[in-house]
Amino acid sequence: MKQSNRRNITLGLVGFLLIVILFILMVNYRDTPFETRGKLVSTKILKVDACPKVGYCIEYQYYFDGKLYRGNGTHSPSGRGEKIGVILAYDTPILAVIDSINPSESRLLLTMADYESLNIAVPDSAQWILKLDL
């Protein structure tokens, strides 16, 4: 009877540890796709509209692994909206970070805060962001 109890306890602990490990992996997978699986892609801005209470609503497209994707984003200018509006209007290369496993998930990188929040260094193609002080 003692062997049976030890075996049940061992199996219970192993099962519990597996559940905890799976939970941790699922939370990490779900909550941080851009931080852990992010890839930078160049976008083409298709449309920029003024949106009440938001600032700008931005529609864009990008290619990943030869397939075309579309994305939608918003930008709250916080007092500096004219600079971003001019940038978007003049075909400045705008980068987005995408989830490499689910490439339809994307986020435009328009300000230093966008790069910093994801711990991404600003690449040479986006150095204009540093000059704008956004």
DSSP state letters, 43-102: EEEEEEEEETTTEEEEEEEEEETTEEEEEEEEE--TT-HHHHHHHHHTT--EEEEEESSS
Question: Which of the four pLDDT bands, split at 50, 70 and 90, describes residue 66?
Answer: very high
Which pTM value belongs to this model? 0.66
pLDDT of residue 64: 93
Domain that holds residue 25: 1-31
Q: How many domains, the chain?
A: 2
Range 26-40 average pLDDT: 67
Distance CA 39, CA 100 (A): 6
- Asked if 26 and 77 sit in the same domain, the reply is no
- Asked if 26 and 79 sit in the same domain, the reply is no
- Asked if 79 and 110 sit in the same domain, the reply is yes
